[in-house]
């Protein structure tokens, strides 16, 4: 799947942005990488903490910086954005954005591709 939503019809772009390109259940601390596109949502099934390593934790896609293990600020503003290191994301939460890969330190998630 192309990462540029402008290549799709309105309906196709909407479907892709909602994660309808597929999903992956991650229940271990093995890194998950989106091969075609990016992860656009991560649903937390069990309290989760992302690995604190900048290269493997919660790695932003090129055009988005937060929340991530890589960046200490956001691309929207250079002030105050925090990294995801050490943050516990509670069961039942879903985070939205664009991530190329991630690795859990603990927890279980479903990651949606878009």
Does 32 have pLDDT greater than 80? yes
The reply to whether the predicted model has a pTM over 0.75 is: no
**Banded pLDDT at 2 (limits 50, 70, 90):** very low
Measured distance CA(17)–CA(63) in Å, rounded: 15
Beta-bridge mates of residue 112: 23, 41
Domain ranges for the chain, please list them: 5-113
Distance CA 7, CA 85 (A): 34
What is the pLDDT of the chain when averaged over all its residues?
77
Parallel, antiparallel or unpaired: strands 104-113 and 58-60: unpaired
pLDDT at 66 over 60: no
């Amino acid at each position: 799947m192309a990462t540029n939503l402008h290549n799709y019809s309105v309906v196709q772009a909407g479907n892709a942005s909602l994660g309808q390109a597929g999903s992956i259940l991650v229940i271990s601390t093995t890194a998950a990488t989106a091969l075609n596109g990016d992860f656009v949502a991560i649903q937390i099934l069990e309290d989760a903490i992302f690995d604190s390593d900048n290269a493997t934790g919660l790695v932003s896609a090129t055009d988005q910086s937060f929340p991530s293990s890589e960046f200490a600020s956001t691309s929207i503003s250079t002030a105050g954005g925090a990294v995801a290191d050490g943050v516990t994301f509670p069961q039942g939460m879903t985070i939205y954005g664009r991530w190329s890969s991630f690795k859990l330190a603990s927890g279980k998630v479903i990651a949606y591709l878009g």
